[in-house]
């Protein structure tokens, strides 16, 4: 048993010759909250899919609990996934099931627990996210923040060792953001799990993360504790952390010279 529950080694991944990730190395120690940060479209979510075994790496490997994910057969991957929970960006609640049934879903599908016990467990999980009273509502009746909390309760329904969060703070009001922020940290510590957060919200992520990886242009450009990164002088990290408009990541999408384009238009 290694101290790292997830290890990413020399990982490259791309579609049709265009590499999205180049030689990525990351480790996720047990019991820690590790964040992967980067701009939109930098392939952060794809990293989570690679860990979950939904896609196969082009080169390198991802090891979960010492097992190489892409070498597992279907049953092996499913076995690994049973130890993972994932919170999707928009919650991905099953819209045809009630809040209660959503949280009960993984228990009913993956365990043989009696319905009485499932009921107790579901209410326990919902209580942890403060939504026990909303258990008979349908997902469409929930606000964005509430839906995210229900999805969180569902992600931890069968007490996973690894909890993955895909943009947990995106599109939330400040209050809900604070609630989710607290929940991620407290659930991680209560379950003794490892959390992997993919996000671009600097303030909240730095608040709860133990370690942060920065991803840009398919490579890990910086890593360290939030405190280290705040002090970082690397131009990209500085721009990202402080939210500056222009820097190594240009404001303009690559284009021909503005003047030339205007001229071309008038001359035509």
Binding site for another protein (CB under 8 A): 52, 54, 77-79, 81-82, 84, 86, 88-90, 92-96, 105-106, 109-110
Written as one string, the DSSP assignment of 75-111 is HHHHHHHTTEEEE-TT----TTS-HHHHHHHHHHHH-
- Least spacing, CB of residue 266 vs another protein, in Å: 30
253 secondary structure, DSSP code: P
For residue 224, list its beta bridge partners.
212
Query: 53, 21, 18, 16: which is closest to 36 by C-alpha?
Result: 21
* Residue pair 169/182 in contact by the 8 Å Cβ criterion: no
- Least spacing, CB of residue 32 vs another protein, in Å: 21
- Name the residue nearer to another protein (CB basis): 93 or 222: 93
- Least spacing, CB of residue 88 vs another protein, in Å: 5
The answer for residues whose C-beta is within 8 angstroms of residue 213's C-beta and 6 or more apart is 26, 34, 35, 36, 37, 220, 222, 223
- Name the residue nearer to another protein (CB basis): 126 or 156: 156
Tell me whether strands 59-64 and 4-15 are parallel, antiparallel or unpaired: antiparallel
- Least spacing, CB of residue 85 vs another protein, in Å: 8
- Name the residue nearer to another protein (CB basis): 96 or 246: 96
- Name the residue nearer to another protein (CB basis): 44 or 81: 81
Residue whose tokens read 């400040």: 174
* Residue pair 172/148 in contact by the 8 Å Cβ criterion: yes
Residue whose tokens read 């479209």: 41
- Name the residue nearer to another protein (CB basis): 54 or 225: 54
- Least spacing, CB of residue 164 vs another protein, in Å: 8
- Least spacing, CB of residue 151 vs another protein, in Å: 8
- Least spacing, CB of residue 267 vs another protein, in Å: 27
Task: Round to whole Å and give the CA distance between 79 and 197.
Answer: 22
- Name the residue nearer to another protein (CB basis): 15 or 78: 78
φ/ψ of residue 122, rounded to 5: -60, -45
- Name the residue nearer to another protein (CB basis): 9 or 105: 105
């Amino acid at each position: 048993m290694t101290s790292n529950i997830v290890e990413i080694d020399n990982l490259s991944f791309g579609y049709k010759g265009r590499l999205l990730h180049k030689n990525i190395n990351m480790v996720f120690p047990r019991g820690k909250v590790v964040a992967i940060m980067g701009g939109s479209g930098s392939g952060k979510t794809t990293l989570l899919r690679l860990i979950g075994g939904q896609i196969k790496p082009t080169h390198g490997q991802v090891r979960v609990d010492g097992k190489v994910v892409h070498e597992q057969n279907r049953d092996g991957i499913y076995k690994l996934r049973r130890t993972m929970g994932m919170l999707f960006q928009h919650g991905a609640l099953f819209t045809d099931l009630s809040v209660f049934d959503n949280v009960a879903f993984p228990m009913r599908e993956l365990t043989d627990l009696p319905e009485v016990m499932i009921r107790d467990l579901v209410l326990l999980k919902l209580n942890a996210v403060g939504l026990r009273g909303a258990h008979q509502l349908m997902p469409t009746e929930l606000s964005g923040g509430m839906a995210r909390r229900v999805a969180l309760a569902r992600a931890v329904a069968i007490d996973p060792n690894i909890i993955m969060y895909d943009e947990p703070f995106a599109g939330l009001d400040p209050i809900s953001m604070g609630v989710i922020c607290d929940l991620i940290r407290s659930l991680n510590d209560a379950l003794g799990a490892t959390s992997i957060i993919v996000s671009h919200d600097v303030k909240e992520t730095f608040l709860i993360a133990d370690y942060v990886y920065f991803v840009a242009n398919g490579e890990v450009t910086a890593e360290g504790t939030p405190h280290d990164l705040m002090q970082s002088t690397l131009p990209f990290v500085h721009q990202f952390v402080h939210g500056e408009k222009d820097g190594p990541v240009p404001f303009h999408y690559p284009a021909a010279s503005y003047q030339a384009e205007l001229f071309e238009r008038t001359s035509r």
